Amino acid sequence: MHHRVQNFLNSVNLGTGLRRQPADQSTAPRSPPRGEWDNGPRKIRRGAGLETSRIAVKGIEFGGPGFVVIAGPCAVEGAEQMELAASAVRRAGALMLRGGAFKPRTSPYAFQGMGEPGIRILSEAGRRHGLPVIAEVMDASQIPGMLERVDVLQVGARNMQNFSLLRALARLRRPVLLKRGFCSTVREWFLAAEYLLDGGNEQVILCERGIRTFETALRNTLDLSAVAYAKLHNRLPVIVDPSHATGNRDLVIPMSLAAAACGADGLLLEVHPDPDRALCDGPQALAPDEFQTLMEKLPKVLESVGRFLGAPSLSRASV
C-alpha cells in the first residue's frame, strides 16, 4: 500500500504545480539568466557604445542628429480647421502633422473626437501638405481603419499599460509612439515599450508628456530627467510633449527649448489655428504665430547640444 501511494504521488501533478521529476529533465523549469530575475527591460536596452536606433517615417528620421517637430491640433474638428493647421505648421517647419480622431476624454460629455471621418480628414490634410500623420489608437479594433491612412500610431498616456492593445500593435510593422502614463514609473514605461519589441515591432518612439505629482499649479509635471535617463539607458528615440505636460501655452515654448537642451529627439506639440475656439485642450495650444516663434528659437539651442532642426526631405520640399 505504501509503495502504491508513493508511486501514485510520483506520477501525478499534485495540483500545486509541483510535478515530481529529476531536475535535469528538459521539462524542468530553467533558471533565468543571472540578473534577469526581475523580468526587467532587455530588448530596449542600449548595447555598450551603441547609438539610438533610428526610426524612419516616410523619409523623416527619429533618433538621428535631426530634431523632429510634430505639430497640429489636439483633435481633428473638421476639414477647414485641419487645412489651416496643416498649412501653418508646415510653413513654420514642422515635419509631421498630429490630430486625434479617437479622443480619450475624462468626461463622457466632452467632445469624443470625429472617429473614422476624422482620420480621413487628417490624412488628406497631411497628404496635401507633404506631412506624414500621427493619431491616437484607443482600441485594437481601430487599427485596420487607421493602417491605411496613419503613419505613426500613438498610444496615449491612459493606455500605456493596455497590454492587449500593446500586443496587437507589436504584431504590426508600423511605428508606434508610446506615451508615458501619467501615473507610471519610468520602469513601467520601459516595460510597456518592451511588450512592443518583444512582440516583434522594433519601431517604437517614447514620449514623455508629464506625470501627476503633488504639484497642482500645472496640469502635470514635466519629467525631463526621465528623458535624459531614457536616452542614457535605452536605444529608443524619445520625444517630449510639453502641451499636455504643462496645460498652459505660456509654458510650452520654454519647456520645448528645455526638452531640446536635455537631449530629446523631438517634440509633439498642440497647435490650433484658433486656440480660443478649440473643442479640446485650447488653453495649451499654441497659435500659429507662437509656433513660428518657437521654431525660430529652437536651432540655437539644438546647435549647443550638437543637433539641428530636422528639415523637410528633398522629395517633399516642393509640396
Judged by beta carbon, residue 194 or residue 281, the one nearer Mn ion is 281
209 makes contact with ligand PEP (CB under 6 A): yes
Which of 61, 136, 194, 281 is the binder for Mn ion (CB under 5 A)?
281
Q: Which of 194, 215, 240 is nearest to 41 (CA)?
A: 194
Minimum Å gap between C-beta 49 and ligand PEP is 33
Q: Which residue in 63, 73, 100, 266 binds ligand PEP (CB under 6 A)?
A: 100
Segment 46 to 65, residues that bind ligand PEP, using CB under 6 A? none
d(C-alpha 125, C-alpha 89), whole Å: 11
Binder of ligand PEP out of 59, 104, 117, 200 (CB under 6 A): 104
Judged by CB under 6 A, the stretch of 1-9, 21-29, 156-164, 188-196 that binds ligand PEP is 156-164
**Listed ranges 47-55, 113-121, 152-160, 163-171: which one lies at the site for ligand PEP (CB under 6 A):** 152-160
C-alpha–C-alpha distance, residues 51 and 82, integer Å: 36
> In this complex, which beta carbon is closest to ligand PEP, that of residue 61 or of residue 281?
281
Q: Which of residues 44-83 bind Mn ion (CB under 5 A)?
A: 74
157 interface partner picked from ligand PEP, Mn ion, none, CB below 5 to 8 A per type: ligand PEP
End-to-end CA distance of the chain: 88
* Residues in CB range of 88: below 8 A, 6 or more apart: 271, 273, 288, 291
Q: In terms of DSSP bridges, do strands 55-57 and 60-62 run parallel, antiparallel, or are they unpaired?
A: antiparallel
What is the closest distance, in whole angstroms, from the C-beta atom of residue 255 to Mn ion in the complex?
A: 15
Q: Are 244 and 206 in contact (CB under 8 A)?
A: no
Q: Which residue has the cell 479622443?
A: 103
- Is residue 44 a contact partner of residue 194, using CB atoms and an 8 Å limit? yes
SS3 letters for 96-127?
A: EEECECCCCCCCCCCCCCCCHHHHHHHHHHHH
Report the residue number, 284 or 307, with the smaller CB distance to ligand PEP.
284
Sole window of 49-57, 113-121, 153-161, 211-219 interacting with ligand PEP (rule: CB under 6 A): 153-161
Per-residue burial over 249-262, b if 16 or more Cβ lie within 10 Å, else e, is: bebbbebbbbbbeb
**Among 76-84, 117-125, 150-158, 281-289, the segment contacting Mn ion (CB under 5 A):** 281-289
Partner from Mn ion, ligand PEP, none contacting 136, C-beta within 5 to 8 A by type: ligand PEP
Q: Give the span between the Cα atoms of 304 and 26, in whole angstroms.
A: 56
Q: Which stretch binds Mn ion (CB under 5 A): 11-19, 177-185, 218-226, 277-285?
A: 277-285
Region near ligand PEP per CB under 6 A, out of 58-66, 86-94, 118-126, 155-163: 155-163
Q: Which residue is nearest to Mn ion (CB)?
A: 74
- Does 156 sit near ligand PEP (CB under 6 A)? yes
CA distance 197 to 181: 18
Nearest-angstrom CA–CA distance, 89 and 178? 23
Q: Which residues bind ligand PEP (CB under 6 A)?
A: 74, 100, 104, 136, 156-158, 179, 209, 241, 244
Q: Which residues bind Mn ion (CB under 5 A)?
A: 74, 281
